[in-house]
Amino acid sequence: MMPSVFIVNPRIVEAHEDDKDWGARWLASNEAGSGAYLLDPATYVPRERADVEKFDDHFYGWSDNPHPIPRIEWRATKVTSTRVLALLNGTIDMTDSFCRSIRSSASRNLRMRMSPKT
């Protein structure tokens, strides 16, 4: 498993610190991000779904991206075949990865852009 690293607003996290946990308990069901998208708390279910909406007042602005994605709906899907089927039937627009053996057969039905691993 690969660890996740997030940039958070330290003032918000420190205000919710409990027994020197760096706000971990509070962050498990809240957000303190500083990014271009804001978490929608009404739809957030830990380890299941997270929806985010474009933050119009982000400090970097949007001048470099005149057509940003307004909303992203993220769903945790552990099973590779479920992700591939969702791509094929149009339930999802993108995924992080799927098996090489499936890529060749799926590519006939999908417009794909592969990015190299770094």
Q: Delimit the domains of the chain by residue range.
A: 77-118
Beta carbons of 95 and 87 less than 8 angstroms apart: yes
Whose tokens are 């993108």? That residue is 94
Interatomic CA distance for residues 101 and 40, integer angstroms: 36
Average pLDDT over residues 94-115: 57
Phi-psi region of 23 (alpha: psi -120 to 50; beta: other; left: phi over 0): left
For residue 107, the model assigns a pLDDT of 54
Kindly state the DSSP code that residue 7 receives in the 8-state scheme: -
Token representation of residue 96: 């992080």
Strand partners, 39: 52
If pLDDT is split at 50, 70 and 90, which confidence band does 79 have? confident
Interatomic CA distance for residues 58 and 24, integer angstroms: 24
For residue 55, the model assigns a pLDDT of 92
Average pLDDT over residues 26-34: 83
If pLDDT is split at 50, 70 and 90, which confidence band does 30 have? confident
- Torsion on CA atoms 112, 64, 57, 75, rounded to nearest 10: 10
Interatomic CA distance for residues 4 and 63, integer angstroms: 28
